Structure 1
Amino acid sequence: MAEQQNSNQRQFSVQRVYTKDVSFESPNAPEVFRGEWKPTHELNLNTKIDKLDETTYEVVLHVTVSAKVGDKTAFIVEVQQAGIFTAASFSEEELGPLLGAYCPNLLFPYAREVVSDLVVKGSFPQLVLQHVNFDALFAQHQQQAAAQGEGGEKPSQH
């Protein structure tokens, strides 16, 4: 009886955190270094979840940061920060936010560090990304998916 109770307990663990892919481009160097540095930045985030087995998932946080000075691109940084997570005995309602919000929240500081290091190594001023509310982004994504479902389009099955 005790074994059955233990097998139904929820378990969550981080098996591994790793950088899966990195790209840095400075297409307008060295000209971009010669002018006044007043950049505009754009941040794009995306999350991909792959089920590896019954209780193991790979979550990949894609972070793309681009900086422009005027109409010239100063740099583009792309980072895929990934983790392998074990999540056992969670309901589907719990698993969505766990993998779609909590895991990206764990991965983001690692991605932020990689972005900052690459920008500095590209000879640009340090760029520290601000905290991202992945819970709000996940909720927004769920609302958009629900709205698409109400509009006659069937939501995709996972």
Structure 2
Amino acid sequence: MAEEQQANGAAAENQQQQVQFAIQRIYAKDISFETPSSPAIFRKEWKPDLKLDLNVKHEKIEDGVYEVVLTLTATNKVEDDVAFLCEVHQAGIFTIGEEVQDGQLAHMLGSFCPNILFPYARECVSNLVNRATFPQLNLAPVNFDAIFQRHMQQQAEQAQGQQTADA
């Protein structure tokens, strides 16, 4: 009997330690596709130069509810001409429990949520490029954990540099 109570207590403690997380909605907030050099671009030999930019923003909607927006911009040039410019703002509304600490919350908003949003944004970009009759564009997976760590390190270095300058 005592062992059963101890096991139930451990299970209850595990449930309390788990972070409450839920996806409320995933949606396309803004989509833009431009082919400024068409139709001349279709006559050129296809030697693309792809530039990919990622950005993540988040906003607190209410206590424990956040909107995270992943902006993916793909600019493809052939020679000096822009073949296409595609920008997708893929967003999601996430519920994150109040028990999450600040550092953990920053990681969830800056890495975990964008990891969820990226496949949707990647699919959208691929579909838009395909509909514009350009060769298929398959974007590689992105390591948002590494990007987040680099961002945090840069912020720490900037803060340290600012403290040194103030001293």
Q: Does the pair score TM above 0.5?
A: yes
Instruction: Indicate yes or no: 2:22 matched with 1:13.
Output: yes
Larger radius of gyration: 2
Unaligned runs of 5+ in 2: 1-12
Matched residue, 2:10: none
Match of residue 106 from structure 2: 96
The letter for the 2-side match of 1:27 is P
Give 5+ residue unaligned stretches, structure 1: 154-158
CA distance in 1: counterparts of 2:144 and 2:103, whole angstroms: 16
Higher percent of residues as helix: 2
One-letter amino acid of the counterpart of residue 83, structure 2: A
> What does residue 45 of structure 2 align with?
36
CA positional deviation for 1:7: 7.8
Find the aligned partners of 1:68 and 1:103 in 2 and give their Cα distance: 30
2:149 and 2:103 map into 1 onto residues whose CA distance is 12
User: What amino acid is the match of 2:118?
Assistant: F
The alignment status of 1:132 with 2:142, answered yes or no, reads: yes
After TM superposition, list the pairs within 5 Å mapping 1:1-158 onto structure 2: 10-88=19-97, 89-152=99-162
Shift of 1:123: 1.1
Cα distance in 2 for residues equivalent to 1:72 and 1:152? 41
**2 CA distance for matches of 1:7 and 1:98?**
18
Higher mean displacement: 22-31 or 8-17: 8-17
Q: Percent identity?
A: 52
How much does 1:10 deviate? 2.4
Question: Aligned letter for 1:86?
Answer: T
How far apart are residue 8 of structure 1 and its match? 7.7
Partner SS state of residue 33, structure 2:
strand
The size of the alignment, in residue pairs, is 150
* TM value normalised by structure 1: 0.91
Moved over 4 A (4+): 5-9
User: What's the TM-score, normalizing by structure 2?
Assistant: 0.86
